[in-house]
Amino acid sequence: MRDFKRTYSYLWDDRLNMIGWTMLGRALRLLMDKLTSEFFRLTNKEAFQLIKMKIPKLAEGLERREFRIVLDRKYVEFKGEARRLSDPINLCKIERMLCEESNLEEWTLGLTIDQPLIGEKPDHWRIYLVSYEGDEKPKSLLEDILSESVPFNIPPKDKEIF
């Protein structure tokens, strides 16, 4: 468990790593219909070069560090419309909707929705919205979707809760 926490905290707690993880995931979702099993045999460098050929603005934005996390929130439970966020199948649809409603190109934003394993079992959801040059237009749309959800608050370590 300690190794798991250490490995994933490197991702979750480092903003640049989270931006890269989110936007590379977005690139894969955009290219999903075009990827063959051969893609998954490529080295990371070769795979990135292929992404760069297919979605050059996304790859160049990553290289130049032009993406920003505009929303990083934790929730105990998704409610209402936000329940769709808990199913990975909906991720691409929600990203597409955010782009369309914000009048942005599809490569300009990405979502990561995860259940970090801090204890024995996941106790919250963490959601990241990453956008090109920190464009906040899609943030308010996502906040509307999340408005009925229950925020996750970690109590300070020096206080006891009864």
Residue with tokens 């160049």: 60
**Cα distance between residue 52 and residue 147, in whole Å:** 36
Angle made by CA atoms 80, 83, 87, in degrees to the nearest 5: 165
Helix (H) or strand (E) holding 162: none
Q: What integer pLDDT is reported at residue 159 of this predicted model?
A: 44
Q: What integer pLDDT is reported at residue 124 of this predicted model?
A: 86
Domain ranges of the chain: 2-151
Half-sphere exposure (CA, 13 Å, Cβ side) for 144?
Answer: 8
Q: What integer pLDDT is reported at residue 123 of this predicted model?
A: 75
**Cα distance between residue 149 and residue 162, in whole Å:** 23
Residues 6+ apart with CB under 8 A from 42: 50
Q: What integer pLDDT is reported at residue 3 of this predicted model?
A: 66
**Cα distance between residue 85 and residue 46, in whole Å:** 31
- Sequential pLDDT tens for the chain (162 residues): 566 666 666 666 788 999 999 999 999 999 999 999 999 999 999 999 999 999 999 999 999 999 999 999 999 999 999 999 999 899 999 999 999 999 999 999 999 998 876 665 667 899 999 999 999 999 999 999 999 999 987 554 444 443
Q: Where are the alpha helices (DSSP H) in the chain?
A: 2-12, 15-31, 44-54, 56-63, 91-102, 137-146
Q: What integer pLDDT is reported at residue 48 of this predicted model?
A: 96
Q: What integer pLDDT is reported at residue 4 of this predicted model?
A: 60
**Cα distance between residue 99 and residue 88, in whole Å:** 18
**Cα distance between residue 34 and residue 24, in whole Å:** 15
Number of Cβ within a 10 Å radius of residue 11: 14
